[in-house]
Amino acid sequence: ENGEEADGENTIVAGTAPGFPPFEMVEDGELVGFDIDLLEAVVDETEYELAEWEQLEFDSLIPALDNGNIDVIAAAMTISEERQEQIAFSDPYYSSDQSILVQTGGDFQPESLDDFEGQTVGAQSGTTGETVVRDDLIEAGIIDEGDYTSFDNYVLAVEDLESGLIDAVVLDEPVAETFEAERDVEVAFVYETGEEYGFGIRQEDEDLQAALSDGVAAVEESSEYEEITSTWFGE
């Protein structure tokens, strides 16, 4: 708010990576989405104050946290062992799997990753979707490294899928469903990964980590979590 000093010890800056609907996107020039509403509700439960949102590319979020440009990541970020070597997470606030998106009514209608031979695939740089491509398609010997395109965000990947430049996109299931509803793409199948999203913080910020986890629990216990879910998922 105007006139409020935003440099107190308990003031935090959040970072996100829009282009990931309905978790974070820019609509009419405004940053909106599930993560935006949820983090704001969670921080309201704590003694911290959210000063501002920084919009970054997904693979710049952890470096920005490390160098102090942001204090918390709210970007549908999956809690993983690899990331936990660098950062800490709040308790989980959402569960997801991966999905395979293809052109609606297109020639490529895979039922499993084994059907990907000779196909081209896209994902967002630094995501768990990219990890599925690297580990379960390239390392597994199903596609070649050259058949994979890494995108700065999933909107660009879906645009290339719509125009037939790539055959499939691997991404988080709720986001795939949103693109399916809004664009000329459809979910071919769900690839179960059992992921959970958490808010990312620096490992030394233990007080903030505890406050955010308590805040997640409080928001989930109140009616707010359901309200935010129904706003963005219409459930």
* Site residues (vs ligand ARG, CB under 6 A): 17, 20, 23-24, 58, 75-78, 124, 127-128, 172, 195
Q: Which is nearer to ligand ARG, 130 or 186 (CB)?
A: 130
| Cis upstream peptide for 21 (omega within 30°) | no
First-last CA distance in the chain: 31
Min separation Cβ 195 and ligand ARG, Å: 6
Residues 6+ apart with CB under 8 A from 179: 21, 101, 154, 158, 171, 185
Q: Which is nearer to ligand ARG, 17 or 43 (CB)?
A: 17
- Other C-beta atoms closer than 10 Å to the C-beta of 134 total 15
Q: Which is nearer to ligand ARG, 20 or 116 (CB)?
A: 20
Min separation Cβ 201 and ligand ARG, Å: 15
Residue with tokens 């059907």: 115
Min separation Cβ 187 and ligand ARG, Å: 16
Q: Which is nearer to ligand ARG, 105 or 194 (CB)?
A: 194
Distance CA 182, CA 122 (A): 19
Min separation Cβ 166 and ligand ARG, Å: 18
